[in-house]
Amino acid sequence: MDAAWALQEAIYTRLTADQSLRALLGDPPRIFDQPPPEATFPMLILGAGELKPYAGIEGAFEHLFRFTAYSRWGGRRECKLIAGGVRLSLQDAALTLDGHRLIQSRLVFEDQLKLREPDIYQGVMRYRFVTVPEAQVAA
């Protein structure tokens, strides 16, 4: 399986199973790759990603992955709570990937913004993941 897709599947599985995120995002949690047109707030979007070879380890890849939380709750609190839940779930995570091994999971940055719409706040997070093919680890 492709490393990028295996990673996204593992991230989705981890986040949707997280009880703190379920408390914030509903059950089932509103975590989307592409939100439905009439999605309810708050929600978390698994967003844009960047993939590049990881120098020094044959077959390894560095994945930069963006998560965006949207909230209509008055202020930044809900976005910060969602970002905190993502951080607790993914920082130094030991995710199981199909055909690959995750060797690093780190927060790069986090920011909360007020959008132009008067009642929408946005929490943006970027994570860095490094994967290596399972066959490479076994060798």
Delimit the domains of the chain by residue range: 3-138
CA dihedral over 78, 111, 13, 31, signed as positive or negative? positive
How many residues in total does the chain contain?
Answer: 139
What contacts 66, CB < 8 A, 6 or more positions away? 47, 48, 49, 124, 125, 126
State residue 24's pLDDT score: 98
pLDDT tens string 89-100? 999 999 999 999
pTM here is 0.92
Mean pLDDT on 76-98 = 96
Q: Which of 84, 89, 75 is nearest to 11 (CA)?
A: 89
Q: Which fold has domain 3-138?
A: STM4215-like (3.30.2000)
Cα(81)–Cα(86) distance, integer angstroms: 9
